[in-house]
């Protein structure tokens, strides 16, 4: 079954968090201390976390990637801030083009809203991925997690080209 990218629905919120947490805890584990991983992807996934995702206070445009009917990747865009907010892929589906397909969907959504340039806070883990997709590192920085804890990141940018 081919990969499918579609808009996220409210009832995907638990799967959204499951993919996010697995990606952080397995794929990013080598790049960050345990305290950061624990706050970036707190377990267990609670009803409150699910409700928080469903509230979507920043008005994120969200997409999910499905393989064989299962959600294996998530992506989010905050068009108002020209921000690529999130891209996470489940470890079992990594390096199969899922992240690339999600970023493509986010870039098309951005262009459709008149956003011609995207910025993002890349994890140290995802730097090569975003560079592969044409994003350039502007500076090293810190990303502030919802808990207030800071984690090292790379501020990146890409000018989008409409085809
Ligand atoms: C970063 C991430 C989204 C990449 O997703 P993915 O589906 O595995 O990426 P793709 O298969 O589309 O990779 C496309 C290309 O990016 C590069 N790339 C991807 N992951 C890479 C890695 N870990 N190391 C080096 N290059 C990488 C490669 O050039 C790859 O092409 P190749 O597989 O033919 O060599 C995924 O690894 C992830 O979720 N990481 C942990 C969470 C995270 O840090 N997310 C970003 C938050 S800002």
pLDDT digits (tens, 9 = 90+) for 70-82: 999 999 999 999 9
Sheet containing 136-144, strands listed edge to edge, beginning at the edge strand earlier in sequence: 4-7, 61-67, 70-78, 83-89, 117-122, 150-159, 136-144
pLDDT for position 146? 85
The DSSP symbol for 119 reads E
Question: How many angstroms separate the alpha carbon of residue 98 from the centre of ligand 1?
Answer: 9
Domain residue limits at 118: 4-159
As a whole number of angstroms, the distance between CA 120 and CA 118 comes to 7
As a whole number of angstroms, the distance between CA 80 and CA 82 comes to 6
Q: Which residue has the tokens 């579609």?
A: 6
The pTM of the whole model exceeds 0.85: yes
Question: How many angstroms separate the alpha carbon of residue 82 from the centre of ligand 1?
Answer: 21
Q: What is the CATH number of the domain that holds 151?
A: 3.40.630.30
As a whole number of angstroms, the distance between CA 39 and CA 67 comes to 28
Please work out, in degrees rounded to the nearest 5, the angle formed at the alpha carbon of residue 102 by the alpha carbons of 96 and 104.
110
Mean pLDDT, residues 113-130? 98
- Adjacent-strand bridge partners of 77: 61, 84
Question: How many angstroms separate the alpha carbon of residue 126 from the centre of ligand 1?
Answer: 6
**Domains of the chain: total:** 1
29, 129, 137, 155, best to mutate for ligand 1 pocket (most atoms within 8 Å of CB)? 129
Q: Is the pLDDT of residue 92 over 80?
A: yes
Q: Is the pLDDT of residue 161 over 90?
A: no
């Amino acid at each position: 079954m081919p990969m499918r990218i579609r808009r996220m629905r409210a009832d995907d919120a638990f799967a959204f968090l499951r993919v996010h947490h697995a990606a952080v805890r397995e794929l990013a584990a080598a790049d960050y201390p345990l305290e950061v991983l624990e706050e970036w992807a707190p377990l267990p996934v609670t009803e409150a976390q699910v409700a928080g995702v469903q509230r979507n206070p920043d008005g994120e445009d969200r997409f999910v990637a499905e393989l064989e009917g299962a959600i294996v990747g998530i992506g989010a865009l905050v068009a108002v801030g020209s921000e690529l907010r999130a891209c996470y892929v489940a470890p079992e589906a990594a390096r199969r083009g899922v992240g690339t397909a999600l970023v493509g969907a986010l870039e098309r959504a951005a262009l459709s809203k008149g956003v011609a340039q995207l910025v993002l806070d890349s994890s140290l883990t995802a730097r090569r991925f975003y560079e592969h997709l044409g994003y350039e590192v502007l500076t090293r920085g810190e990303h502030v997690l919802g808990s207030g804890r800071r984690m090292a990141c790379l501020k990146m940018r890409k000018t989008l080209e409409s085809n």
